[in-house]
Amino acid sequence: MNLAAQAIISNTGTLSERLSALHSRLLQTIPGVDRIACTLYESKDDTLKTYINSTRQGTAIQGYEARLSQSAALFELAQKGNFRVLDDIEQAIHSNSTHSQWLREQGYRSSFTVPFYDNAQLLGFIFFDSMQAGAFTPQVQRDLVLYTSLISMLVSGELAAIRMVVESTRVARQLTEVRDFETGAHLDRMAHYARLIARKVAPTYGLDDEFTEAIFLFAPLHDIGKIGIPDRILLKPGKLDDDERRTMNAHVDKGVAIIDRIIGDNSQHRFPDSSILRNIIACHHEMLDGSGYPKALQGDDIPLEARIVAVADIFDALTSERPYKAEWPLEQAFEELHRLSGEGKLDAECVHALASQADTVKDIRARYADAAGAH
């Protein structure tokens, strides 16, 4: 297992790449495992969501989520900490859920499912699937339990690194006593909007759920540089003059400097998703026509993750009440996004991705409404 451990724990590559390396090693001793997949559990929403996978036969399911409480079998596994073996999937699964239909379509015959935890809190599930019936014998199960430990270490370690960055920025905001309009609810909403957009556009760019999850986790950090902006400018109710605007716009470079200090040198080696985080902070105020700041980037020079967050951030700003403006109705806000994309400022595909999911947007607004007096 030493080589397998090196493959999975090494911080050279994305989580998906490291999982694929482990899968290659696993196949040398357990050739019947055609797919390994890991889902994450978001307790705040009782949601299981697809995350990383290594699929050798079949087509991976991506961009899928479901309530854990609606799956009696998985809910019981999570509660008891047990594992589940299905020797004949076709006979064992009778649900018509999207996931069950996909599972049958792929032709998988047997599966092995294990929940994994961090400090007794459910992080998600690891799924092993095989095209062979009865592939997960007691001996195979014992061997795979060792692999689940490695995968759990991989995922929990990566999430811990992300939480460290998020918590560090939260503490920095508190220590500097920043007071702006970015309530916790705003950050939650725009993170969920960004994930909606990312899931919709990811297939076009050949991106996976690991990318989508990174967008979701890092979107709330987009304006961290505002901790370096004086309150007299940050909270000014009226229009900023030219000097004040230059000071406000400097929050982008300040944000990049803050993240670089938190993550440190060689961040790409120790924290493979750091480039996504950095791009979000550095480029979310850029516009496709070059009218944005701080570098006046144009078109594809603006990273996709920044284009996604820009749409999510502007939409939530439009639909939120501020001391200087009333909230816009959703339809009017979508019209404004389409106008901005028509002018070549916002990514049209990202705007369409959000507008085409209006019902889900309404649900997010309801779940993460600002508290009374939060403005």
**The tokens 């599930």 sit on which residue?**
125
Beta bridge pairs of residue 122: 117
H-state helical runs in the chain: 2-9, 15-27, 72-80, 89-92, 98-106, 138-175, 184-205, 209-218, 231-234, 242-249, 251-263, 267-270, 274-283, 304-318, 330-342, 348-355, 358-367
The length of the chain, given as a count of residues? 375
Catalytic annotation on 226? yes
Task: Name the catalytic one among 226, 239, 325, 345.
Answer: 226
CA dist 62 and 58 (Å) reads 13
Contact 204/234 with Cβ under 8 angstroms?
A: no
Q: Is 242 exposed, middle or buried (0-12, 13-18, 19+ CB in 10 A)?
A: exposed
The DSSP result for 224-276, as a single string, is: GGGGGS-HHHHT-SS---HHHHHHHHTHHHHHHHHHHHHH-TTHHHH-TTHHH
Q: Tokens representing 104? A: 């049958």
Structure tokens at 363: 């649900």
Q: Are 237 and 324 in contact (CB under 8 A)?
A: yes
Helix axis angle for 251-263 and 274-283, nearest 10°, is: 160
Cβ pair 123, 10 in contact under 8 A: no
> Among 219, 114, 111, which Cα is nearest to 166's?
219
Residues forming the active site? 226
